[in-house]
Amino acid sequence: MKIDSRIPTIVSASNKRIVEARKLRQRKHRQAEGLFLVEGLQLLHMALDSGAVPYEVFFCQEQFIGAEAATLLGRFRQTGAALLSVSPRVMETLSEREEPQGIVASFRLAEAPLASLDLAGRELVVILDRLQDPGNLGTLIRTADAVGAAAIILIEPCVDPYDPKTVRGSMGSLFNLPVISTKDVSALFAWLKERGLRPVGADPHLGETWGAGLWQGGVALVLGNEARGLSDDVAAQINAWAKLPIVGRAESLNVAVAGGVLMYAWLRENLPSF
């Protein structure tokens, strides 16, 4: 795709728009501006496929390899987003990749309230209690997408779903299902009950091995913090528990691994209904 040669190329990393874009690596600036950065050609295609709304697109044609980046830039042009040509040195300040692919874009945060979820009562919703690791969150979002979960709900304070490590870890799945945050634990579980979803908590010692008998129909799988597990206020809302066997000498499982196994346990019981 040809870019209008009259578009000036930004060559200074001190340019105001470049400085503001780099600030989006920090959570406080993402929240203040309502924007987050995305890079990686596949992730950017998936963002556009999902209907995510781009704001600014920074591109460096000198870093394009093959036709894919140019095709992607053509898609961005159709959205009406601002296209900003930058020099290779400026792109290196925007990109977190060792070898930038020539495009970094900012998108609107896709924040939504609980009330926006339209559930039929037979879905899986994944509740994450105050997680702190962006890699774990990204992996859990990706797995939830893979099993067809209806949403991820984060109990705050929680790692930011728009942290660059979370975005990369989700491999585009962040754009495929709602990720909703809440601080009101009591209201959350009342909302789940009203919609026919049974909370099932994951714990290394409590409840049914593999969650046997717990997965039919609508379930809210509740996973705890990496270090502390489920908080007391969350655990008080749960009557059904699932655990996974540990037959080796490992003390515990990573929350993303355990969550993935239990999500697929739910899917195995409910797959015929899809």
- Buried b / exposed e across 102-121, counting CB within 10 Å, b at 16+? bbbbbbebbeeebeebebee
In angstroms, rounded to a whole number, what is the distance separating the alpha carbons of residues 186 and 169? 30
If pLDDT is split at 50, 70 and 90, which confidence band does 271 have?
A: confident
Same domain, 256 and 122: yes
> How much is the pLDDT for 1?
46
- SS3 of residue 105 by DSSP: strand
Give pLDDT tens digits for 168-225: 999 999 999 999 999 999 999 999 999 999 999 999 889 999 999 999 999 999 999 9
DSSP 220-256: EEEE-BTTTBS-HHHHTT--EEEE----SS-S---HH
Q: Are residues 130 and 252 in the same domain?
A: yes
Domain shared by 173 and 264, yes or no: yes
Query: Which CATH number covers residue 221?
Result: 3.40.1280.10
Domain boundary among 42, 77, 108: 108
Mean pLDDT of 216-245: 95
The answer to whether position 3 is within a domain reads no
Distance CA 160, CA 216 (A): 31
Task: Looking at the structure, tell me whether residues 21 and 70 fall in a common domain.
Answer: yes
φ, ψ for residue 203 (rounded to 5)?
-150, 140
How many Å apart are CA 137 and CA 153, to the nearest integer? 11
Q: What is the CATH number of the domain that holds 57?
A: 3.30.1330.30
Residue 103 included in any domain:
yes
Closest CA to 179 of 208, 164, 204, 159: 159
The answer to whether residue 159 sits within a structural domain is: yes
Q: Say yes or no: 142 and 238 in one domain.
A: yes
Question: In this structure, is residue 59 part of a structural domain?
Answer: yes
**3 — pLDDT class (breaks 50, 70, 90):** low
Write out pLDDT tens, residues 259-268. 999 999 999 9
Domain boundaries, position 235: 114-273
Regarding whether 130 and 98 lie in a shared domain, the answer is no
pLDDT of residue 93: 96
Residues 91 and 118 in one domain: no
Amino acid letter, residue 169: G
Do 166 and 81 share a domain, yes or no? no
pTM, to two decimals: 0.91
User: pLDDT at residue 64 above 70?
Assistant: yes
* Angstrom distance (rounded) from CA 8 to CA 230: 53
Whole-angstrom distance, CA of residue 95 vs CA of residue 180 = 27
What confidence score (pLDDT) does residue 115 get? Answer: 87
pLDDT at 125: 98
Pairing type for strands 103-108 and 54-59 reads antiparallel
> Are residues 142 and 101 part of one domain?
no
Q: Which residue has the higher pLDDT, 5 or 138?
A: 138
Task: Tell me what pLDDT residue 121 has.
Answer: 87
Measured distance CA(144)–CA(155) in Å, rounded: 16
Query: In this structure, are 73 and 182 located in the same domain?
Result: no
pLDDT digits (tens, 9 = 90+) for 30-45: 999 999 999 999 999 9
What angle, 0 to 180 degrees and rounded to 10, lies between the N-to-C axes of helices 68-79 and 41-49? 30
For the chain, how many structural domains are there in total? 2
Residue 185 phi, psi dihedral angles, 5° rounding: -65, -45
190-196 contacts, C-beta under 8 A, 24 or more apart: 191/114, 192/125, 192/220, 195/119, 195/121, 196/119, 196/121, 196/122
Q: How far apart are CA 63 and CA 66, in angstroms?
A: 10
Last residue of a domain, one of 58, 82, 108: 108
Q: What is the pLDDT of residues 71-124, one digit of tens each?
A: 999 999 999 999 999 999 999 999 999 899 999 999 999 888 898 899 988 999
Residue 198 and residue 69 share a domain: no
Q: Which two tokens stand for residue 166?
A: 């979370």
Q: What integer pLDDT is reported at residue 199 of this predicted model?
A: 97
pLDDT the model gives residue 273: 56
99, 175, 36, 156: CA torsion to nearest 10: -120
Residue 1 domain flag? no
Q: What are the CB-based long-range contacts (under 8 Å, 24+) for 63-68?
A: 63/88, 63/91, 63/100, 63/101, 63/102, 64/101, 64/102, 65/101, 65/102, 68/41
